[in-house]
Amino acid sequence: MAGDDNDNDVSNLLTIGFGGSDDDSEPEEAANPNTTTSNSTTSNGNSRSDRNALSETNFQLLKQNYMPKIENGKIHKSIQLPLSSISKPDAQQLLHAVEELYFYRRYDEAVDFVRKVFSGPEVNLDQETKRLLGYYEKRCSQRTADLQTVERT
């Protein structure tokens, strides 16, 4: 009979509710993961997977024409200078081009590129982009001078 008391204690332990209500009602069933919730449906009732799904034909067409973007130190060549107007993605592209040249240790090209950006007609660059481009110009100039000093010795 002593074993029965332990069994009851263990079974009662497993029925403890952790919810905020004080009533003895049964716990709610867990949501079925296969049902759609308000987060996964669009306003017209389609699920996210339906909205983003491609037909097999469209997928094969996309697969056939897909070319990965290869960054090999030539981003700066894809930017048309002088700039006429600039959007935030265009400004990011300028920074990526200078960063890439810096990464490949092509400091002279990076300095020339930044100077071309700044020498063109006044473009509406945000202050952070101007600051970063100026930083890279200064840093690349320093690196070039350091390399020339090392070569002389």
Percent of the chain past pLDDT 90, that is, above it, reads: 29
Quick one: CA torsion of 44, 48, 49, 51, rounded to 10 degrees? 50
What are the tens digits of pLDDT across the range 135-148?
Answer: 999 999 999 999 88
Closest CA to 143 of 102, 113, 112: 102
Q: How many Cβ atoms sit within 10 Å of the Cβ of residue 73?
A: 14
Query: What's the pLDDT score for residue 85?
Result: 78
Alpha carbon of residue 13 to chain centroid = 47
Quick one: CA torsion of 73, 75, 71, 106, rounded to 10 degrees? 20
**Which residues partner with 47 through β-bridges?**
41
Mean per-residue pLDDT, 45-70: 76
Q: State the SS3 of 51-114.
A: HHCCCHHHHHHHHHHCCCCCCCCCHHHHCCCCCCCCCHHHHHHHHHHHHHHHHCCCHHHHHHHH
Q: How far apart are CA 107 and CA 103, in angstroms?
A: 9
What are the tens digits of pLDDT across the range 3-38?
Answer: 555 566 656 666 666 555 555 555 555 555 555 454
